[in-house]
C-alpha cells in the first residue's frame, strides 16, 4: 500500500505537466485557468502549488526543461568542425534533430514559440540564458568554420545563424497550421527528410567557398 501511494505521488508532477502542455497549447497560458489544469490532471490546486509554486512556475518548467535539453543537444552536435564535409554533416544532424523534436513535441514547441513572440517577463530570463545560448552556439560554430576557411570568408556568422533559425521558426508555424488543416506536416518522416535536404542545400549554397565540394 505504501509503495502504491509513493508511486501515485511521484506521478503527480508528470500528470500536471502533461495537462498544462495540452491546455496551454490549445488555449494559451492566459486562456487557461489553474482549475482547468487541476481538472485535466485530476489533482487539487495544492498539488500545483507544492510542485511548481504557481501556474507561472509550471509554464517556466515546461519551457526550461525543453530549452536545456535542446541546448545540451545543440552543443553536442555543433562542435567545431575540422573539414568542409564536417560542416555539412553537423548541420544536417542538427536540422534533423530539430525537425524530429518539432514532430515529437508539437504542443510544447507551440507554447515556446508563442511565449517567445510575447517576450513576457515571466520567461524572459529563460529565453536569454537558454535559447539565446543555443543561438550563440550556432554563431560560434559558423565562426569557427570561417576561421578555419571551411566556409566563405565574407560570411557573417550572426546573420547566417539568424537566417537558419528563422527557417526553423517558420517550420514550427507551418507545422501548426498544417496540423489544423489535416495537411501533410512535420510528423511525416519523408517530409522532414526533404525539409532537411532542401534547407541544407539552400543554406550551404550561401555560405560555402566556391572551391569547396560538398557531397550529396
Q: Is 212 inside any structural domain?
A: no
Same domain? For 146 and 185 the reply is yes
C-alpha of 146 from chain center: 26
Give 79-126 pLDDT, tens digit per residue: 999 999 999 999 999 999 999 999 999 999 999 999 988 878 899 999
- Indicate which CATH number applies to the domain containing 159: 1.10.357
Q: Is 195 inside any structural domain?
A: yes
Question: Is residue 195 within 8 Å of 99, Cβ to Cβ?
Answer: yes
Same domain? For 70 and 154 the reply is yes
Q: Is 69 inside any structural domain?
A: yes
Q: What is the pLDDT of residue 209?
A: 67
Q: Is 58 inside any structural domain?
A: no
Residue 28: give the domain boundaries.
1-53
Q: Kindly report the pTM of this predicted structure.
A: 0.86
Which cell numbers in the block locate residue 34?
489553474
Across the chain, mean pLDDT equals 89
Same domain? For 170 and 69 the reply is yes
Q: What is the pLDDT of residue 215?
A: 47
Same domain? For 27 and 103 the reply is no
Burial-class residue 23 by CB neighbours within 10 Å (0-12, 13-18, 19+): buried
Q: Is 12 inside any structural domain?
A: yes
Same domain? For 113 and 158 the reply is yes
Same domain? For 47 and 69 the reply is no
Q: Is 6 inside any structural domain?
A: yes
Across 198-210, average pLDDT: 86
Same domain? For 95 and 197 the reply is yes
Q: Where are the alpha helices (DSSP H) in 55-210?
A: 55-77, 84-104, 106-118, 121-126, 132-147, 157-180, 189-207
Q: Is 145 inside any structural domain?
A: yes
Q: What is the pLDDT of residue 176?
A: 76
Residue 131: band (very low, low, confident or very high) from pLDDT cuts 50, 70, 90: very high
Same domain? For 133 and 164 the reply is yes
Q: How far apart are CA 126 and CA 28, in angstroms?
A: 18
Q: How far apart are CA 105 and CA 116, in angstroms?
A: 17
Give 19-70 pLDDT, tens digit per residue: 999 999 999 999 999 999 999 999 999 999 999 999 999 999 999 999 999 9
Q: What is the pLDDT of residue 11?
A: 87
Residue 216: band (very low, low, confident or very high) from pLDDT cuts 50, 70, 90: very low
Same domain? For 71 and 45 the reply is no
Same domain? For 21 and 69 the reply is no
- Indicate which CATH number applies to the domain containing 19: 1.10.10.60
Per the structure, the count of domains in the chain is: 2
Same domain? For 161 and 199 the reply is yes
Same domain? For 170 and 98 the reply is yes
Amino acid at each position: 500500500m505504501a509503495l502504491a501511494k509513493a508511486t501515485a505521488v511521484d506521478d503527480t508532477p508528470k500528470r500536471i505537466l502533461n495537462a498544462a502542455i495540452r491546455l496551454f497549447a490549445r488555449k494559451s497560458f492566459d486562456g487557461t485557468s489553474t482549475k482547468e489544469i487541476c481538472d485535466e490532471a485530476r489533482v487539487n490546486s495544492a498539488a500545483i502549488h507544492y510542485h511548481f509554486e504557481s501556474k507561472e512556475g509550471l509554464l517556466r518548467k515546461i519551457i526550461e526543461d525543453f530549452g536545456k535539453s535542446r541546448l545540451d543537444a545543440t552543443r553536442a552536435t555543433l562542435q567545431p568542425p575540422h573539414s568542409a564535409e564536417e560542416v555539412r554533416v553537423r548541420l544536417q544532424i542538427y536540422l534533423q534533430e530539430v525537425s524530429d523534436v518539432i514532430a515529437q513535441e508539437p504542443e510544447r514547441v507551440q507554447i515556446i514559440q508563442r511565449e517567445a513572440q510575447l517576450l513576457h517577463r515571466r520567461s524572459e530570463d529563460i529565453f536569454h540564458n537558454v535559447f539565446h545560448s543555443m543561438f550563440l552556439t550556432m554563431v560560434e560554430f559558423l565562426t569557427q568554420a570561417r576561421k578555419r576557411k571551411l566556409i566563405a570568408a565574407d560570411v557573417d556568422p550572426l546573420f547566417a545563424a539568424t537566417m537558419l533559425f528563422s527557417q526553423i521558426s517558420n517550420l514550427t508555424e507551418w507545422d501548426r497550421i498544417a496540423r489544423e488543416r489535416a495537411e501533410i506536416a512535420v510528423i511525416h518522416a519523408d517530409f522532414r527528410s526533404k525539409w532537411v535536404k532542401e534547407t541544407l542545400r539552400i543554406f550551404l549554397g550561401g555560405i560555402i567557398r566556391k572551391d569547396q565540394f560538398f557531397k550529396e
